[in-house]
Structure 1
Amino acid sequence: MKTSIILTVIGPDRPGLVSAVAARARAAGGNWLESRMAQLAGQFAGVVLLEAETDVADNLESALRELEGDGLQVQIQRGSDISAPVRHHVMLDLVGHDRPGIVQDITAVLARHSVGVETLDTACEPASMTGEPMFHAQAQLGVPEGVDLDTLQDDLEALANELMVDLELHDPQREQPEAAA
Protein backbone atom coordinates (compact mmCIF):
# COMPACT_ATOMS: atom_id res chain seq x y z
CA MET A 1 0.00 0.00 0.00
CA LYS A 2 1.20 3.51 -0.79
CA THR A 3 1.21 6.63 1.38
CA SER A 4 1.23 10.21 0.12
CA ILE A 5 3.58 12.66 1.83
CA ILE A 6 3.45 16.40 1.32
CA LEU A 7 6.78 18.13 1.95
CA THR A 8 7.16 21.88 2.31
CA VAL A 9 10.67 23.37 2.39
CA ILE A 10 11.77 26.97 2.78
CA GLY A 11 15.27 28.34 3.08
CA PRO A 12 18.05 30.37 1.49
CA ASP A 13 18.23 29.65 -2.25
CA ARG A 14 21.37 28.02 -3.59
CA PRO A 15 22.38 25.84 -6.55
CA GLY A 16 21.77 22.12 -5.99
CA LEU A 17 19.04 22.57 -3.40
CA VAL A 18 16.33 20.76 -5.39
CA SER A 19 18.79 18.01 -6.26
CA ALA A 20 19.60 17.53 -2.56
CA VAL A 21 15.91 17.24 -1.67
CA ALA A 22 15.27 14.83 -4.54
CA ALA A 23 18.29 12.66 -3.67
CA ARG A 24 17.27 12.40 -0.02
CA ALA A 25 13.69 11.49 -0.97
CA ARG A 26 14.78 8.87 -3.48
CA ALA A 27 17.35 7.29 -1.16
CA ALA A 28 14.67 6.85 1.51
CA GLY A 29 12.18 5.22 -0.88
CA GLY A 30 10.15 8.24 -1.95
CA ASN A 31 8.79 8.76 -5.44
CA TRP A 32 8.51 12.42 -6.54
CA LEU A 33 5.04 12.92 -8.07
CA GLU A 34 4.29 16.62 -8.17
CA SER A 35 5.80 19.91 -7.05
CA ARG A 36 5.55 23.68 -7.06
CA MET A 37 8.75 25.62 -6.43
CA ALA A 38 9.89 29.21 -6.61
CA GLN A 39 12.70 31.56 -5.66
CA LEU A 40 11.13 34.48 -3.81
CA ALA A 41 13.23 37.36 -2.45
CA GLY A 42 16.35 35.19 -2.19
CA GLN A 43 14.52 32.35 -0.47
CA PHE A 44 13.63 29.00 -1.98
CA ALA A 45 10.10 27.77 -1.31
CA GLY A 46 8.83 24.41 -2.46
CA VAL A 47 5.93 22.06 -1.98
CA VAL A 48 6.41 18.46 -3.09
CA LEU A 49 4.03 15.52 -3.24
CA LEU A 50 5.90 12.29 -2.64
CA GLU A 51 4.62 8.74 -2.55
CA ALA A 52 6.15 5.82 -0.69
CA GLU A 53 5.29 2.33 0.39
CA THR A 54 3.57 2.58 3.77
CA ASP A 55 6.27 0.48 5.47
CA VAL A 56 8.99 3.04 4.57
CA ALA A 57 6.97 6.24 5.09
CA ASP A 58 8.30 6.82 8.64
CA ASN A 59 11.91 6.42 7.44
CA LEU A 60 11.22 8.78 4.53
CA GLU A 61 9.87 11.41 6.91
CA SER A 62 12.94 11.07 9.14
CA ALA A 63 15.26 11.42 6.15
CA LEU A 64 13.41 14.53 4.96
CA ARG A 65 13.62 16.11 8.42
CA GLU A 66 17.42 15.86 8.14
CA LEU A 67 17.17 18.66 5.55
CA GLU A 68 16.76 21.00 8.52
CA GLY A 69 20.49 20.48 9.12
CA ASP A 70 21.07 22.06 5.71
CA GLY A 71 19.37 25.30 6.81
CA LEU A 72 15.89 24.51 5.51
CA GLN A 73 12.61 24.77 7.35
CA VAL A 74 10.73 21.52 6.77
CA GLN A 75 7.07 20.69 7.21
CA ILE A 76 5.73 17.21 6.48
CA GLN A 77 2.11 16.13 6.26
CA ARG A 78 0.69 12.79 5.23
CA GLY A 79 -1.97 12.81 2.55
CA SER A 80 -5.55 11.95 3.27
CA ASP A 81 -7.43 8.89 2.06
CA ILE A 82 -10.55 11.04 1.83
CA SER A 83 -11.35 11.71 -1.80
CA ALA A 84 -11.71 15.33 -2.81
CA PRO A 85 -15.17 16.50 -3.82
CA VAL A 86 -15.91 16.53 -7.54
CA ARG A 87 -15.24 19.99 -8.89
CA HIS A 88 -15.53 21.59 -12.30
CA HIS A 89 -12.26 23.29 -13.29
CA VAL A 90 -12.20 26.83 -14.64
CA MET A 91 -9.32 29.24 -15.19
CA LEU A 92 -9.14 32.83 -13.96
CA ASP A 93 -6.80 35.40 -15.51
CA LEU A 94 -6.37 38.85 -14.01
CA VAL A 95 -4.17 41.83 -14.80
CA GLY A 96 -4.27 45.36 -13.41
CA HIS A 97 -2.34 48.09 -11.66
CA ASP A 98 -0.85 46.71 -8.49
CA ARG A 99 -2.38 47.65 -5.16
CA PRO A 100 -2.74 45.90 -1.79
CA GLY A 101 -5.76 43.64 -1.38
CA ILE A 102 -6.38 42.31 -4.89
CA VAL A 103 -5.89 38.66 -3.92
CA GLN A 104 -8.00 39.02 -0.78
CA ASP A 105 -10.83 40.75 -2.64
CA ILE A 106 -10.96 38.17 -5.44
CA THR A 107 -10.67 35.16 -3.11
CA ALA A 108 -13.42 36.57 -0.87
CA VAL A 109 -15.82 36.43 -3.85
CA LEU A 110 -14.66 32.89 -4.64
CA ALA A 111 -15.18 31.81 -1.03
CA ARG A 112 -18.74 33.23 -1.00
CA HIS A 113 -19.47 30.91 -3.93
CA SER A 114 -17.66 27.93 -2.25
CA VAL A 115 -15.12 27.93 -5.08
CA GLY A 116 -11.70 26.51 -4.21
CA VAL A 117 -8.37 27.87 -5.44
CA GLU A 118 -6.48 24.82 -6.72
CA THR A 119 -3.47 26.67 -8.12
CA LEU A 120 -2.56 30.34 -8.01
CA ASP A 121 0.37 32.01 -9.75
CA THR A 122 0.92 35.73 -9.25
CA ALA A 123 3.56 38.24 -10.26
CA CYS A 124 4.07 41.97 -10.13
CA GLU A 125 5.96 43.29 -13.15
CA PRO A 126 6.54 46.71 -14.70
CA ALA A 127 4.17 47.62 -17.54
CA SER A 128 5.88 47.65 -20.93
CA MET A 129 5.18 51.29 -21.81
CA THR A 130 4.91 53.09 -18.47
CA GLY A 131 6.97 50.94 -16.12
CA GLU A 132 4.16 51.08 -13.54
CA PRO A 133 3.80 47.90 -11.48
CA MET A 134 1.17 45.58 -12.96
CA PHE A 135 -0.26 42.70 -10.98
CA HIS A 136 -0.85 39.45 -12.88
CA ALA A 137 -2.70 36.42 -11.52
CA GLN A 138 -3.64 33.11 -13.04
CA ALA A 139 -5.60 30.55 -11.06
CA GLN A 140 -7.18 27.19 -11.59
CA LEU A 141 -10.43 27.12 -9.67
CA GLY A 142 -12.47 24.17 -8.47
CA VAL A 143 -16.18 24.96 -8.77
CA PRO A 144 -18.51 22.59 -6.89
CA GLU A 145 -21.59 21.14 -8.52
CA GLY A 146 -24.57 23.44 -8.27
CA VAL A 147 -22.62 26.69 -8.44
CA ASP A 148 -23.95 28.87 -11.24
CA LEU A 149 -20.93 29.95 -13.32
CA ASP A 150 -22.81 32.89 -14.81
CA THR A 151 -23.54 34.31 -11.34
CA LEU A 152 -19.92 33.72 -10.30
CA GLN A 153 -18.71 35.51 -13.43
CA ASP A 154 -21.11 38.42 -12.84
CA ASP A 155 -19.83 38.84 -9.26
CA LEU A 156 -16.19 38.65 -10.37
CA GLU A 157 -16.77 41.16 -13.19
CA ALA A 158 -18.47 43.59 -10.79
CA LEU A 159 -15.44 43.39 -8.50
CA ALA A 160 -13.04 43.71 -11.45
CA ASN A 161 -14.78 46.95 -12.44
CA GLU A 162 -14.48 48.23 -8.87
CA LEU A 163 -10.78 47.28 -8.72
CA MET A 164 -10.18 48.54 -12.27
CA VAL A 165 -8.54 45.27 -13.37
CA ASP A 166 -9.09 43.03 -16.39
CA LEU A 167 -10.45 39.66 -15.36
CA GLU A 168 -11.40 36.68 -17.50
CA LEU A 169 -12.99 33.43 -16.40
CA HIS A 170 -12.39 30.57 -18.85
CA ASP A 171 -14.46 27.42 -18.76
CA PRO A 172 -12.72 24.83 -20.98
CA GLN A 173 -15.88 22.71 -21.12
CA ARG A 174 -17.98 25.61 -22.43
CA GLU A 175 -15.31 26.62 -24.94
CA GLN A 176 -15.04 23.18 -26.59
CA PRO A 177 -17.03 22.84 -29.81
CA GLU A 178 -19.93 20.45 -29.53
CA ALA A 179 -19.52 17.12 -31.28
CA ALA A 180 -21.47 16.70 -34.49
CA ALA A 181 -24.47 14.41 -34.16
Structure 2
Amino acid sequence: MQKMMITTVVGSVTPGVIKALADTTRAAGGEWLTSKVIKLDSQFAALLKVAIAADAVPELQQAFAVKFPLLQFSYSDQAQSSSQHMRILKCNVDCRDRPGLTREIVDLLSNLNLEIEHMEFNRVHVSTIGQTVFSSQLAIIVPDEVSDASVVELLEGVSKDARVSLG
Protein backbone atom coordinates (compact mmCIF):
# COMPACT_ATOMS: atom_id res chain seq x y z
CA MET A 1 0.00 0.00 0.00
CA GLN A 2 1.33 3.45 -0.97
CA LYS A 3 1.89 5.98 1.78
CA MET A 4 2.22 9.73 1.36
CA MET A 5 4.50 11.56 3.75
CA ILE A 6 6.11 14.94 4.06
CA THR A 7 9.82 14.85 4.76
CA THR A 8 11.55 18.00 5.97
CA VAL A 9 15.32 18.23 5.53
CA VAL A 10 17.51 20.98 7.02
CA GLY A 11 21.26 21.43 6.92
CA SER A 12 24.32 22.82 5.19
CA VAL A 13 24.38 23.03 1.42
CA THR A 14 26.85 20.64 -0.15
CA PRO A 15 27.34 19.98 -3.87
CA GLY A 16 24.84 17.44 -5.16
CA VAL A 17 22.93 17.01 -1.89
CA ILE A 18 19.48 17.40 -3.47
CA LYS A 19 20.27 14.89 -6.23
CA ALA A 20 21.67 12.47 -3.65
CA LEU A 21 18.48 12.76 -1.57
CA ALA A 22 16.39 12.05 -4.67
CA ASP A 23 18.56 9.07 -5.63
CA THR A 24 18.27 7.64 -2.11
CA THR A 25 14.49 8.02 -2.22
CA ARG A 26 14.30 6.21 -5.58
CA ALA A 27 16.61 3.42 -4.36
CA ALA A 28 14.14 2.75 -1.51
CA GLY A 29 11.24 2.62 -4.00
CA GLY A 30 9.95 6.11 -3.25
CA GLU A 31 9.09 9.01 -5.50
CA TRP A 32 9.03 12.76 -4.88
CA LEU A 33 5.62 14.06 -5.92
CA THR A 34 6.43 17.64 -4.96
CA SER A 35 9.48 19.36 -3.54
CA LYS A 36 10.33 22.85 -2.40
CA VAL A 37 13.90 23.81 -1.63
CA ILE A 38 15.02 27.06 -0.07
CA LYS A 39 18.66 28.08 0.15
CA LEU A 40 19.90 30.90 2.34
CA ASP A 41 23.62 31.54 2.51
CA SER A 42 25.19 28.13 3.22
CA GLN A 43 22.01 26.53 4.62
CA PHE A 44 19.02 24.90 2.97
CA ALA A 45 15.62 23.56 3.92
CA ALA A 46 13.62 21.19 1.76
CA LEU A 47 10.06 19.92 1.95
CA LEU A 48 9.51 16.69 0.06
CA LYS A 49 6.14 15.07 -0.57
CA VAL A 50 7.07 11.41 -0.94
CA ALA A 51 4.99 8.49 -2.19
CA ILE A 52 6.41 5.18 -1.00
CA ALA A 53 5.25 1.70 -0.04
CA ALA A 54 4.31 1.74 3.65
CA ASP A 55 6.67 -1.13 4.45
CA ALA A 56 9.60 0.71 2.78
CA VAL A 57 9.34 3.82 4.98
CA PRO A 58 11.73 2.54 7.70
CA GLU A 59 14.28 1.57 5.02
CA LEU A 60 14.18 5.09 3.52
CA GLN A 61 14.45 6.79 6.89
CA GLN A 62 17.40 4.58 7.84
CA ALA A 63 19.12 5.27 4.51
CA PHE A 64 18.71 9.02 5.03
CA ALA A 65 20.18 8.77 8.55
CA VAL A 66 23.18 6.74 7.38
CA LYS A 67 23.98 8.62 4.16
CA PHE A 68 23.32 12.14 5.50
CA PRO A 69 24.37 12.21 9.17
CA LEU A 70 24.85 15.99 9.20
CA LEU A 71 21.32 16.74 7.97
CA GLN A 72 18.24 16.94 10.17
CA PHE A 73 15.14 15.04 9.04
CA SER A 74 11.57 15.10 10.27
CA TYR A 75 8.65 13.11 8.93
CA SER A 76 4.89 13.52 9.02
CA ASP A 77 2.03 11.70 7.38
CA GLN A 78 0.24 13.76 4.82
CA ALA A 79 -3.16 14.71 6.18
CA GLN A 80 -6.09 13.84 3.99
CA SER A 81 -7.16 17.01 2.32
CA SER A 82 -10.70 18.23 2.79
CA SER A 83 -10.17 20.92 0.18
CA GLN A 84 -12.42 19.60 -2.56
CA HIS A 85 -14.11 22.98 -2.78
CA MET A 86 -10.99 25.09 -2.50
CA ARG A 87 -8.78 26.82 -5.01
CA ILE A 88 -5.45 28.62 -4.99
CA LEU A 89 -5.56 32.35 -5.55
CA LYS A 90 -2.26 33.89 -6.61
CA CYS A 91 -1.79 37.60 -6.11
CA ASN A 92 0.82 40.30 -5.73
CA VAL A 93 0.68 43.03 -3.09
CA ASP A 94 2.71 46.21 -3.61
CA CYS A 95 2.81 49.28 -1.34
CA ARG A 96 5.10 51.49 0.73
CA ASP A 97 6.82 49.51 3.42
CA ARG A 98 6.16 50.02 7.12
CA PRO A 99 6.83 48.07 10.32
CA GLY A 100 4.45 45.17 10.92
CA LEU A 101 3.12 44.96 7.36
CA THR A 102 3.97 41.29 6.80
CA ARG A 103 2.47 40.33 10.18
CA GLU A 104 -0.68 42.31 9.40
CA ILE A 105 -1.18 40.51 6.08
CA VAL A 106 -0.64 37.10 7.69
CA ASP A 107 -3.00 37.95 10.57
CA LEU A 108 -5.67 39.27 8.21
CA LEU A 109 -5.69 36.07 6.15
CA SER A 110 -5.42 33.79 9.19
CA ASN A 111 -8.32 35.50 10.96
CA LEU A 112 -10.48 34.72 7.91
CA ASN A 113 -9.32 31.07 7.90
CA LEU A 114 -7.59 31.57 4.57
CA GLU A 115 -4.45 29.46 4.40
CA ILE A 116 -1.25 30.85 2.94
CA GLU A 117 0.33 28.20 0.74
CA HIS A 118 3.23 30.40 -0.31
CA MET A 119 4.40 33.89 0.61
CA GLU A 120 7.47 35.57 -0.72
CA PHE A 121 8.22 39.19 -0.01
CA ASN A 122 10.88 41.75 -0.80
CA ARG A 123 11.65 45.19 0.50
CA VAL A 124 13.52 47.48 -1.88
CA HIS A 125 14.65 51.03 -1.28
CA VAL A 126 13.70 53.20 -4.26
CA SER A 127 15.98 56.22 -4.24
CA THR A 128 13.91 58.22 -6.73
CA ILE A 129 10.98 58.36 -4.29
CA GLY A 130 13.13 58.16 -1.17
CA GLN A 131 11.15 55.29 0.34
CA THR A 132 11.20 51.54 0.75
CA VAL A 133 8.68 49.56 -1.28
CA PHE A 134 7.13 46.29 -0.08
CA SER A 135 6.30 43.67 -2.71
CA SER A 136 4.78 40.29 -1.91
CA GLN A 137 3.75 37.32 -4.00
CA LEU A 138 1.06 35.20 -2.33
CA ALA A 139 -0.63 31.90 -3.05
CA ILE A 140 -3.71 31.64 -0.83
CA ILE A 141 -6.01 28.63 -0.43
CA VAL A 142 -9.52 30.06 -0.75
CA PRO A 143 -12.95 28.35 -0.46
CA ASP A 144 -14.92 28.44 -3.71
CA GLU A 145 -17.62 30.59 -2.10
CA VAL A 146 -15.15 33.44 -1.40
CA SER A 147 -14.74 35.74 -4.38
CA ASP A 148 -11.38 36.88 -5.72
CA ALA A 149 -12.61 40.47 -5.51
CA SER A 150 -13.31 40.20 -1.78
CA VAL A 151 -9.79 38.88 -1.06
CA VAL A 152 -8.28 41.68 -3.19
CA GLU A 153 -10.38 44.26 -1.32
CA LEU A 154 -9.23 42.92 2.06
CA LEU A 155 -5.57 42.97 1.04
CA GLU A 156 -5.85 46.49 -0.37
CA GLY A 157 -7.08 47.55 3.06
CA VAL A 158 -3.66 46.97 4.67
CA SER A 159 -2.37 50.28 3.32
CA LYS A 160 -3.77 53.39 1.64
CA ASP A 161 -1.44 52.91 -1.33
CA ALA A 162 -1.69 49.10 -1.58
CA ARG A 163 -2.10 47.70 -5.07
CA VAL A 164 -3.17 44.08 -5.41
CA SER A 165 -3.03 42.24 -8.72
CA LEU A 166 -4.11 38.70 -9.51
CA GLY A 167 -1.98 36.17 -11.29
TM over 0.5: yes
- CA shift in 2, pair 1:154/1:98, >3 Å: closer
- CA shift in 2, pair 1:16/1:134, >3 Å: farther
Separation in 2, partners of 1:106, 1:79? 27
**Which residue of 2 is the match for residue 79 of structure 1?**
78
Question: 1:120 is aligned with what amino acid?
Answer: M
- 1:92-103 mapped onto 2 (5 Å cutoff): 92-103=91-102
- CA shift in 2, pair 1:68/1:133, >3 Å: farther
**Which residue of 1 is the match for residue 63 of structure 2?**
63
**Which residue of 2 is the match for residue 153 of structure 1?**
152
Contact 1:87 1:144 in 2 (8 A): yes
- 1:90 match: secondary structure: strand
Separation in 1, partners of 2:72, 2:28? 19
Contact 2:156 2:162 in 1 (8 A): no
- CA shift in 2, pair 1:146/1:55, >3 Å: same
Aligned length: 166
Separation in 2, partners of 1:167, 1:8? 32
Separation in 1, partners of 2:88, 2:15? 35
Shift of residue 4, structure 1, vs aligned partner = 0.8
Contact 2:93 2:164 in 1 (8 A): yes
Shift of residue 16, structure 1, vs aligned partner = 0.8
Contact 2:152 2:164 in 1 (8 A): no
- 1:37 match: secondary structure: strand
* TM-score, normalisation: structure 1: 0.77
- 1:26-77 Cα offsets, whole Å, 9 max, x none, are 11121111111121132111111111012212222222333551x2121111
Shift of residue 134, structure 1, vs aligned partner = 4.2
Separation in 1, partners of 2:40, 2:26? 26
Gaps of 5+ in 1: 173-181
Contact 1:35 1:48 in 2 (8 A): yes
- 1:159 match: secondary structure: coil
- 1:125-170 Cα offsets, whole Å, 9 max, x none, are 5558679754432111111244354443322211132xx44333x2
Higher helix share: 1
Identity percentage of aligned residues: 26
Contact 1:113 1:147 in 2 (8 A): no
Question: 1:21 is aligned with what amino acid?
Answer: L
- 1:160 match: secondary structure: coil
Gaps of 5+ in 2: none
- CA shift in 2, pair 1:18/1:126, >3 Å: farther
* TM-score, normalisation: structure 2: 0.82
Q: CA RMSD in A?
A: 2.6
